[in-house]
Chain A
Amino acid sequence: MDQLSKEQIKKLIRSHKLKDNIFEILGLILLLCSLLVLLALIIDLSTDGAARISKSFLTNFPSRFPDKAGILSAWVGSTLVMFVTAASAIPIGIAAGVYLEEYAKKNLFTAIIEINITNLAGVPSIIFGLMALGIFVYKFNFGPSILTAGLTLGLLILPIIITATREAIRTIPSAIREAAMAVGATKWQTVKHHVLPYSTGGILTGIVISLSRAIGETAPVITIGALTFIAFLPNAPISTEAPFIHFDWIFSPFTVMPIQMFNWVSRPQQEFHVNAAAAGMILLLMTLSMNAIAIYLRIYFRKKIKW
């Protein structure tokens, strides 16, 4: 083979470097484009909907007249549904994560649980809706209620909480467990006094992320038959008269923020689209700020504990 002359090598290197630079710029541009889309989305929603945001928008029920319509029943519904979701998914998710990391033996049963969790994380949300329609609405007769929606979304985010719990627990060195065991702590005492407190940061981050996902979910809630037009509120969970705490709201029909927005988007009138944009702004504000909290929590706890 002929040796390349110095000139040819220089030329070759120049062309390689050129390609390298072009690629670097391309990468940067594409990355910025993705971020630009996010920005465009936020600006688009804001310019379309900002004018509609007012106190009455938050305190009015939906209406046939776009300028009188509000999101009162939607945000109340979302709040109550999230309450059920959190109450069902958080304890089960953390318990499952603790079991898999601290208690489970390496056997077929554990492997089956793990495969199921991985698989559930990849099942489309609308399938959860169909399952809930069959089980909660018809088999258990919960109807299209807040309870059904809360449980459905709870199951949907269960894999996220389990995975977050497991990853948080895995960062705790086994020396800590041994130290606790060596002074005579039982397994549960080790978990309660050490494993759970030291993994709080990771678990909390996972919970916030998963709830932000649940609050924006639309498809499964539509599938279980949530109404799109609700002009009343469920009975209040707390009252000033005995017994102070009530649970009849969980069987109440409801609507949630994303469904309200969907309903307005699918109407042909331009005026309703403005309402949709305003509702979208609030929804986006909720999910993005929850994600910001999660990022903050992650950084805060990472700084706090160093192994």
Chain B
Amino acid sequence: MSEPLLQVKDLEVYYGVIQALKGISFHVNKGEIVSLIGANGAGKTTTLHTVTGLLRPKHGSIVYDGKDLTKVHPHKIVSMGLAHVPEGRRIFQNLSVYDNLLLGAYTKNDKAKINDQMEQVFEQFPRLKERRRQLAGTLSGGEQQMLAMGRALLSDPEMIVMDEPSMGLSPLLVSEIFEIIKTFREAGKTVLLVEQNAKKAMTVSDRVYVLETGSILTEGNAADLVNDERIKKAYLGE
């Protein structure tokens, strides 16, 4: 088997004296959708923030595409092909939809390529095209999530990490968002997904890691874990 695209080993992260991650290891292969699921406070967001450089680990390594990310400045990580769709979307509310998308392509300089990507994003999210002159803060929750995803796509990433993309959305929109995540895989992108909606996450994922208070409780193929009694009870509410 070839090297995984993302390999995280023995990651330990602290907030002051409080240990948020107690040495977790996981990997994501190229072309996979991998989910980290778990309750509030399990360390899912902390993991993603450490991967994309917003937090620094005390111990452990994060190797992406053969390079150690723990020493790389966060603003350089996106140009390595790793895009982050953060929790709560964090779109730039006071800027237009179009400017938000352009900021997604901040590390790119080829104007023609950017326009090309922009057209593709508008094709996938026609509502963003209709509203491109509007301030992003005036969009609905679902549209804001689409903008956050479109913004990530404009950096032309090889891998996208997504933090709670379904948070605060209606069931119909949640399904729509997960359909979009599937299209990422079809486009050859690799996805690392963090979700509280474990059931939905498992339906789109290849593999799943279950986090509990800073450690990995269990891992496996999504198809197997769906039938695991423990997982069913604790995370799927069955």
Are A and B genuine complex partners?
Answer: no
Name A residues whose Cβ lies closer than 8 Å to a Cβ of B: none
